[in-house]
Amino acid sequence: MFGRLKQMLIKEFIQVFRDKRTRFILVGPPIIQMLVFGYAATYEIRNVPTVVLDMDNSQESRELISLFTASPYFHVDRQLTNSKQLGDLIEKGDATVGLEIDAGFARKLRGGQTAPLQVIVDSTNSNTALIASGYITQIAIGYAQIYQKDRIGRIAPQLTETVPSVQLQARPWYNPGLKSRWFFVPGVIGSLTLVLVVTLTAFAVVREREIGTLEQMMVTPIRPAEFILGKTIPFFLIGLFDVSLIAVVGTVWFQVPFRGHVSVLLTGSILFILCMLGVGLLISTVSSTQQQAMVTAFFFIMPAVAFSGFGFPIATMPQWMQYLTYLVPLRYFLVVLRGTYLKGAGMDILWPEMAAMAGLAFSLLTISILRFHKALD
Amino acid sequence: MNFNRMMAVARKEIIQIVRDSRSLAIVVLMPVTLMLLFGYGVNLDLKGLPVYVLDRDGSQQSQDLLKHFQASSYFHIVRAVNDYGSITHALDDGSAKLAIVIPWNFSQRLSEGGTVEVQALVDATDDNTANVLIGYTQAVVQGYSAEVQTRWLSRHGQQIQPSPVGVETRTWYNENLESSAFIIPGVLALVMSVIGAFLTSLTIAREWERGTMEQLISTPVSAMEIMLGKLTPYFALGMFDVVLCALIAMDWFHVPFRGSFITLLISSALFLVVVLSLGFFISVLAKTQFAASQIALLVTFLPAFLLSGFLFSIEQMPAALQWITRILPARYYVSVLKKIFLKGTSTAMLSADLIPLAVFALVLAVLATRAFHKRLT
């Protein structure tokens, strides 16, 4: 048995590494994608193009605007003279935020009324709009607090020291700089492994069927179990190699901290790759041409990545979609990846995810091997 | 160039597409799947996030502050705990995204006067969620603080306006900050990329791989006729998908459509020419279907997903990457889509995007033709 398996493995490795392009595909695209993701995927906002229309032009209004100028989140590059300009700039996309202070701002403030700060946000990108609005509110409230304190100091100086206030001290754990990169880089390791292992496995089997070499294999003394092992072991190893490669590139290049144990990540990776081998084999049993395999793989990959929490939080999905996410192996692997990278979590915390992946791997592999036997008969 | 011969090639291609039911399914199912996935799955607006509280004071005032959190729809207080360890554990295993810690001297400090700090521990693994969450927490605490101040001052005989500055935000183009309105127009670009480059490069690579391309070339059909004949059916399918996607966007997800439908069709036709040419080009260069599909994903789907402004705003990327996006056709197409759907920008104002798109279409079509000729000779 081991002799035959060994021969089959030698054949598979030769097939994979013979073609220059395939060799490149195992290394090139994963690294390119890791780099592009690391640089491009960001929800952070900095220097949002902002225009200001100050019709009051008082000391108060200028003070408020200076807080926006000083903020790293906004780039105030223009003072306008009428509201038509403001509308035009936002419409053209030259500005994302427009701040408008009407005449009478300072008068209202001094008179103890609520003075309005009008804000126009281009919400074509709803996420940028949401976060920018949050920062605008924080700046306005900050200004109001300073103003309030000054005011109390003027009307009742004896009270300034004792007036109570509650301050929030926010401590972002695990990712104190709130860097998108720290969130995406571990996730990219998972999604790239998924795409690579599933497509490689599905293609390798279907190609033999399409070209007709599968029948040739079947007339040799090789047994189905040896054939399946011979097909999966190389991709298991390649998958493991690619996980390590992408992980090292991502960690070293983007300086994402790795706080957990390599052994925990390795266990998670092995379980996840087993799941993906199962999926790849399953796809190969329902496809007779490579094009069909690719199309089927694509239909699996898109939802598997979208439902995993890779880029979008699962908690905000509709309930029926949240139930579906439990069937997605990547969901669990992402918890393991982010847990080991950022939280330094160990097996005591991650065992439910590991158990879920082990269960999924077992079912997927069993189903695909049973179906595979049938497909061979 | 003979029109009848070209149509004969097109007819053969159509028969092949119709016979392969899975390819046909991808044309209809893929746009629907992608639309549903992104329409429902991507929601960056957070509601009801799990919160733990550690109230070390246990007083009337501290309970009062917590009531403010309960009243907000953004937070869902799942548990009140007595020790710091439970909080650490809850953040580690993800059962809480936020923990609020009220110090033991909270009420005492408030009655004595002066500042008291409330801690918010945030799971910042997902920086975007953390960012939005901190903003909401800040708003609740500052609102409470202002209330306390006003009450305290009125007890000391001073009347003061609780909120001196009121922020009045108007969100343009996507008034309710719907994630779906932000995401869905861009999905068209993903669909076009898949239909145009991915599917096309696969079908043509298959003819090379199987040797049927040589048979086709040995007939009197010219290279130009082969190319146009093969691409026309995919062009028609792509245009069908544009209409299908637009209908789903408007009727199912109620994404506003404010621009001109004709411009949508024109820009989509231009982008289709771009991706079809790219797909053809790739299939000429790549020898195998596997290589063709991977390269097609890398040069069309990935840029359309990551670098087009579809999800991540281009202006937040590093300068070098921003420059690279300028040579990516998907960027211009996504920009047109968002403007047509949400902003209702006039066709004349879209010329800054439409002209580069047209140039890309022309250049890539010429390049693809050249490469095909070269491979034939």
Which residues of chain B are within 8 Å of residue A338 when distances are taken between CB atoms? 125
Query: Pairing state of beta strands A115-122 and A165-173?
Result: unpaired
Give the residue with greater pLDDT, A118 vs A227.
Answer: A118
Q: Please give the pLDDT value at position A330.
A: 95
Residues A79-96: b if buried by 16+ CB within 10 A, e if exposed = ebeeeeebeebbbebebb
Put simply, the chain A residues between 212 and 231 with a CB less than 8 A from any chain B CB are none
Amino acid identity, residue B96?
Answer: A
What is the gyration radius of the CA atoms in chain A, in angstroms? Answer: 29
Coil/strand/helix, residue A321: helix
Q: Please give the pLDDT value at position B329.
A: 93
Which residues of chain B are within 8 Å of residue A119 when distances are taken between CB atoms? 167-170
Is B65:B28 a contact under the CB 8 Å cutoff?
A: no
pLDDT tens-digit readout, A34-84 = 998 889 888 888 889 999 999 999 999 999 999 999 999 999 977 888 888
Q: Please give the pLDDT value at position A273.
A: 96
List the single residue in A112, A166, A318 with the smallest CB-CB distance to B141.
A166
Q: Please give the pLDDT value at position B19.
A: 81
Hey, is the C-beta of A135 within 8 angstroms of any chain B C-beta?
A: yes
List the single residue in B46, B93, B178 with the smallest CB-CB distance to A126.
B178
Separation between Cα atoms, residue B53 and residue B48, nearest integer Å = 15
Three-point CA angle B42, B43, B48, nearest 5°: 140
Indicate the pLDDT class of residue A376, thresholds 50, 70 and 90.
low
Residue A47, Ramachandran bin (φ over 0: left; ψ between -120 and 50: alpha; else beta): left
Separation between Cα atoms, residue A99 and residue A76, nearest integer Å = 10
DSSP state of B123: E
Is A51:B317 a contact under the CB 8 Å cutoff?
A: no
Tokens of A77: 């590059």
Considering only alpha carbons, which residue of chain A is nearest residue B27?
A295
Alpha-carbon distances of A105 from A59, A113, A114, B66, rounded to whole Å = 10, 10, 9, 34
Q: Please give the pLDDT value at position B314.
A: 87
Is A199:A270 a contact under the CB 8 Å cutoff?
A: no
Whole-number percent of chain A with pLDDT over 90:
37
Separation between Cα atoms, residue B103 and residue B245, nearest integer Å = 54
Q: Please give the pLDDT value at position B276.
A: 92
Which residues of chain A are within 8 Å of residue B193 when distances are taken between CB atoms? none
List the single residue in A32, A144, A168 with the smallest CB-CB distance to B120.
A168
Which residues of chain B are within 8 Å of residue A311 when distances are taken between CB atoms? 42, 311
pLDDT at A218 over 70: yes
Hey, is the C-beta of A295 within 8 angstroms of any chain B C-beta?
A: yes
Indicate the pLDDT class of residue A19, thresholds 50, 70 and 90.
confident
Domains, chain A: 2-41+179-376 (no CATH), 48-159 (3.40.1710.10)
CATH of B49-155, one of 3.40.1710.10, 3.40.640.10, 3.20.20.105, 3.20.20.70: 3.40.1710.10
List the single residue in B203, B313, B317 with the smallest CB-CB distance to A39.
B317
Considering only alpha carbons, which residue of chain B is nearest residue A108?
B164
Whole-number percent of chain A with pLDDT over 70:
99
Three-point CA angle B41, B46, B47, nearest 5°: 110
ipTM: 0.83
Q: Look-up: residue for tokens 């960012």?
A: B131
Closest CA to B289 of B232, B213, B190, B376: B213
Indicate the pLDDT class of residue A375, thresholds 50, 70 and 90.
low
Put simply, the chain A residues between 324 and 363 with a CB less than 8 A from any chain B CB are 335, 338-339, 342-343, 345, 349
Hey, is the C-beta of B179 within 8 angstroms of any chain A C-beta?
A: yes
Alpha-carbon distances of B180 from A23, A308, B128, rounded to whole Å = 39, 18, 17
Separation between Cα atoms, residue A187 and residue A192, nearest integer Å = 9
Separation between Cα atoms, residue A176 and residue A3, nearest integer Å = 54
Separation between Cα atoms, residue B139 and residue A344, nearest integer Å = 31
pLDDT tens for chain B, residues 1 to 377: 788 888 888 888 888 888 877 777 777 888 888 888 888 888 777 778 889 999 999 899 899 999 999 988 889 999 999 999 999 889 888 889 899 999 998 998 888 888 889 999 999 888 888 888 888 898 899 889 888 888 888 888 777 766 777 778 888 888 877 888 888 999 999 888 888 887 787 777 778 777 888 887 788 888 888 888 888 888 998 999 999 999 999 999 999 999 899 999 999 999 999 999 998 888 888 777 777 887 888 888 888 888 988 888 888 888 899 999 999 999 999 999 998 998 888 888 888 899 999 999 999 999 988 888 777 66
Report which secondary-structure segment, H or E, holds B102.
strand B98-102
Q: Please give the pLDDT value at position A3.
A: 82
DSSP state of B251: I
Separation between Cα atoms, residue A73 and residue A47, nearest integer Å = 5
Q: Do B313 and A125 touch (CB under 8 A)?
A: yes
Q: Please give the pLDDT value at position B48.
A: 80
Separation between Cα atoms, residue B53 and residue B78, nearest integer Å = 8
Indicate the pLDDT class of residue A198, thresholds 50, 70 and 90.
very high
Hey, is the C-beta of B116 within 8 angstroms of any chain A C-beta?
A: yes
Separation between Cα atoms, residue B98 and residue B46, nearest integer Å = 13
Q: Do B318 and A32 touch (CB under 8 A)?
A: no
Which residues of chain B are within 8 Å of residue A36 when distances are taken between CB atoms? 302, 306-307, 321
Q: Please give the pLDDT value at position A327.
A: 93
pLDDT tens-digit readout, A304-325 = 888 898 888 888 888 888 899 9
CA B287 to chain centre: 32
- The model carries a pTM of 0.86
Residues of chain B within CATH 3.40.1710.10 domain(s) are: 49-155
Q: Do A290 and B202 touch (CB under 8 A)?
A: yes
Q: Do B294 and A33 touch (CB under 8 A)?
A: no
Q: Please give the pLDDT value at position B115.
A: 85
Considering only alpha carbons, which residue of chain B is nearest residue A350?
B93
Which residues of chain A are within 8 Å of residue B203 when distances are taken between CB atoms? 291
Indicate the pLDDT class of residue A280, thresholds 50, 70 and 90.
very high
Q: Do B113 and A164 touch (CB under 8 A)?
A: yes
Q: Please give the pLDDT value at position B240.
A: 92
Q: Please give the pLDDT value at position B261.
A: 92
Coil/strand/helix, residue B99: strand
A165-179, A263-277, B20-34, B321-335 — which is least confidently predicted?
B20-34
Q: Please give the pLDDT value at position A1.
A: 66
DSSP state of B57: S
List the single residue in B29, B119, B164 with the smallest CB-CB distance to A115.
B164
Hey, is the C-beta of A172 within 8 angstroms of any chain B C-beta?
A: yes
CA A293 to chain centre: 26
Taking the C-alpha atoms of A122, A126, A129 and A133 in order, what is their torsion angle to the nearest 10 degrees? 130
Q: Please give the pLDDT value at position A377.
A: 60
Three-point CA angle A313, A315, A319, nearest 5°: 125
* DSSP result, A59-121: HHHHHHHHHHHH-TTEEEEEEESSHHHHHHHHHHTS-SEEEEE-TTHHHHHHTTSPEEEEEEE
Q: Do B313 and A313 touch (CB under 8 A)?
A: no
- Mean pLDDT (chain A, rounded): 87
Q: Please give the pLDDT value at position A286.
A: 87
Alpha helices in chain A (DSSP H): 2-18, 20-40, 59-70, 83-92, 105-110, 126-155, 180-211, 213-219, 224-254, 262-285, 290-306, 319-325, 329-338, 347-376
Q: In what order do the strands lie in the sheet with A115-122?
A: A74-80, A48-54, A97-101, A115-122, B165-172
Query: Pairing state of beta strands A115-122 and A97-101?
Result: antiparallel
Considering only alpha carbons, which residue of chain B is nearest residue A110?
B164
